[in-house]
Chains A and B, each alone.
Chain A
Amino acid sequence: MTSTSDANITPFAGGAESALMKQELLEKVARRRKRQYREQTLVTWLLRATAAISVATTLGIVFILLKESLGFFEEVTVWEFVTGTQWTPLFKPQHFGALPLVGGTLLVAVIAGLVSLTFGLGAAIFLSEYAPERARKILKPILEILAGIPTVVYGYFALTFITPILQSIFGADRVIIFNALSAGIVMGLMIMPMVSTLSEDAMVAVPRSLRDAAYALGATRFEVATKVVIPAALSGIVASFILALSRAIGETMIVKIAAGATPNLTLNPLESIQAMTAYIVQVSLGETPQGSLEYQTIFAVGLLLFVMTLGMNILGRWVIARFRQVYE
């Protein structure tokens, strides 16, 4: 700015002065470049730091889980923990077999998986193959709202709405007020948008030419959907399903509210169970003294949960990478 105004004041500048101006201008550009470079470096480092924080958080969580579980596994063998069929750390006599908790978690997750796969895949097929573009544009966001409902609301929806319905169907004598089925159904509804959205994305990505070829051979719309589009989009569908299941395994509020606090090793979905996450909540909010063996159980259970969801996520990524069909 200053040099320009100087130039305006002296309109008939000589050659020496214009050389000076050029020199100044070059210096100015160089300074600006330097400043930009510094800023860019700073921004790069800031962004790098934000990325590092997420990695550091994960590492920190793994470290704490391992460190705190170590104390637990000094008292209880890993073998007893992963194969024992009784879980009563807060009772006397104590037993530390995590299978009832793992079983409870998986029972709810499997029910949720069945519900979300049935309805999620159905919705995805409808949206990608049947629905006109306008309907799709309206329906898809509405479906995705399901994923935005707070899980605590889902929990009470299961306990106060779904459970009474189940009791009127199967009889109040057979359906315990806390049961795996109502929690599983509602959790299935919650993760359904995940399945439908990701599956639908995969199905829309299947090239038009494949469909046209099938139609040319006389296939019906349903045949095109089930025999051409779904097989072609299978990797995306399976991956969405695995990610949704992983979400179901980690889900806490619904199982805490609606599935009960009874660590039962059972396949009967009408009975009360306790999920791993619900147990962790129970102990961390309760009056169990910190540092005690009872308290350390939650880190061991947390570690097991972490391993399970990590395994699911790795599996999901592997399925995508391994079975992905690439169309050009």
Chain B
Amino acid sequence: MFSVINKRPSKVLAVLTMMAVLALAVACGGESSDDGSSSSEIVVDGSSTVFPITQAVAEEFRAENSNVQIPVGISGTGGGFKRFVVGDTDISNASRPIKDSEAEEAAANDIEFIEVRVAWDGLSVITSKSNDFADCLTTEELKSIWDAGSTLNNWNQVRDSFPDKPLRLYGPDTDSGTFDYFTEAINGEEDQSRSDYTASADDNTLVQGIAGDGGSLGYFGYAYYAENADKLKVLGVDPGTGCVSPDSVTINDGSYAPLSRPIYIYVNKASLERQEVRDFLTFFMNESAPLTEEVGYVALSDADYQANLELLGLN
């Protein structure tokens, strides 16, 4: 009897101790890091728009060259250039050409670089298959619909000839590069947009919503439209010089404006002397086309990729 009572607290103590030890083990376990292998590193940073391409290529490349680490950051185009012009990074992702001020800063730091166009980012303006009245919208009409403060909620407010039909808007959420680009190209300033549209980070959901709603209007990456062309209707965009519908030709030759733009990587010339960087870029130009389409962009023509290899002195 005595001993039973005596033992109880120590059992409780044992359990409590074990719990404490377990909790500590769990807490410490998260901090372990795996370094130690003598691997080389290619540092990439910059635009979140270009990130999916570079990341996909880096993953594929690493499958064959596991000794090369390729951390890809997403500091934004400007943030990426800030690091690039002081020599912090080997490659900078950019959704716009480098600014003069940034190029001057690079020159001041003796950083030479090569600009390489890697893909086209095309947006498409989409409605439902059952929409039989709209084929083309002007950029002004798009702005009147999407600009901050807009209260348009019927198609007949967009254009007099359109029928009396509720207008329902769908688009990517504010974290998306597509949102940044569309608001800049149509509304004049990045992030300037009305906010009362159905927003989703998931393009599948947008496709589903737009397809099922006869009064819908939305936008997302062209490649995503191409994949779901059977369910959706794409609208042409008229910037004032005539209506152009997006396809791989009009996006690639730049005639689908202003909703298509080239995206770039910038390569530090000094880094090009390293074999792993040369290997990575060669792999990039030879293998990125299908990956580019997969992540939602329009790939370059084969000739353009060849031209890039020459530009980089890699063939």
Q: Which residues of A contact B (CB under 8 A)?
A: 32, 36, 39-40, 42-43, 46, 86-88, 90-93, 167, 172-173, 176-178, 260-264, 272, 282, 286-288
Contact = CB atoms under 8 A, between A and B. Distances in A.
B173 A282 contact: yes
Contact of B12 (A43, A91, A287): A43
A176 B198 contact: yes
Contacts of B12: 43
Contacts of B18: none
Interface string B178-211: 0000000000011111111111100001001100
Contacts of B258: none
Nearest to B16: A46
Interface string B155-188: 0000000000010100001110000000000000
B212 A172 contact: yes
Contacts of B205: 177-178
Nearest to A264: B196
Closest 3 CB pairs of A and B: A90-B174, A286-B175, A177-B209
Interface of chain B, helix or strand or loop or mixed?
Answer: loop
B13 interface: yes
A215 to B, nearest CB: 49
Interface in B1-54: 6, 9-10, 12-13, 16, 48
Contacts of B112: none
Interface of B: 6, 9-10, 12-13, 16, 48, 74, 148, 166, 168, 173-175, 189-200, 205, 208-209, 212-215
B48 A287 contact: yes
A135 B175 CA distance: 52
A206 to B, nearest CB: 39
Given A43-B12, A173-B213, A177-B209, A261 B191 contact: no
B9 A260 contact: no
25 contacts: A39-B10, A43-B12, A43-B16, A46-B16, A87-B195, A90-B174, A91-B148, A91-B193, A92-B190, A92-B191, A93-B148, A176-B198, A176-B209, A177-B205, A177-B213, A178-B200, A178-B209, A260-B199, A262-B197, A262-B198, A263-B196, A264-B196, A282-B175, A286-B174, A287-B48
Contacts of B200: 178, 260-261
Contacts of B10: 39
Interface of chain A, helix or strand or loop or mixed?
Answer: loop
Given A177-B205, A262-B197, A91 B174 contact: yes
A173 B196 contact: no
Nearest to B76: A287
A286 B173 CA distance: 10
B212 A167 contact: yes
B195 A88 contact: yes
Given A36-B6, A90-B174, A262 B74 contact: no
B51 to A, nearest CB: 10
Contacts of B196: 262-264
Contacts of A260: 198-200
Contacts of B192: 91-93
A277 to B, nearest CB: 16
B168 to A, nearest CB: 7
B168 A39 contact: no
B175 A43 contact: no
A261 B174 CA distance: 10
Contacts of A88: 148, 195
A286 B193 CA distance: 18
Contacts of B173: 261, 282, 286
A93 B193 CA distance: 8
Contact of A261 (B13, B199, B212, B215): B199
A284 to B, nearest CB: 11
Contact of B198 (A91, A92, A178): A178
